[in-house]
Amino acid sequence: MLSLLSTHTCSEACWYAREEVCKCSCGGKNHGILLSATGERPQRTCLIHYKRYRLEAIAGFMESCNIRFAITELAAKSHIYEAADDRPATASQQKWPEVAAWMESHDEVPRLVWVLESYRPALEA
């Protein structure tokens, strides 16, 4: 399988192998993963200010603020000051299966909590 490492985030186009050559940040690791019965959906990622983030949570406004605050507080102890971000789901993100499922049981546009991909917080439930 051919792959080209790029700054494009890995998404549905890669997971369903809509192009013959993988052109995203996974370098071919996730290319076509959802075409097999055992394929597990990879974690969503995005770029914020040229840094790669992974989707940590889908939540309402107050809950997303609390999650982001908890992550930021833990990260600050390690001198990491841009560990989390939360943003309202865009129109295209609202079509993602996991976001659409959240919206079915809530009466608001969700906020997506993104965590710096290199940071692995140990949050307690």
What are residue 13's phi and psi, to 5 degrees?
-60, -40
User: Domains of the chain: which residue ranges?
Assistant: 1-40, 45-116
> What is the value of pTM for the model shown?
0.81
The token pair at 27 is 């370098």
Dist. CA 92–CA 49, nearest whole Å: 20
Dist. CA 112–CA 99, nearest whole Å: 9
Residue 114 belongs to what H/E stretch?
A: strand 111-116
SS3 annotation, 36-80: CCCCCCCCCEEEECCEEEEEEEEECHHHHHHHHHHHHHHHHHCCC
pLDDT of residue 58: 97
Q: What is the pLDDT of residues 75-114, one digit of tens each?
A: 998 888 889 999 999 999 999 999 999 999 999 999 999 9
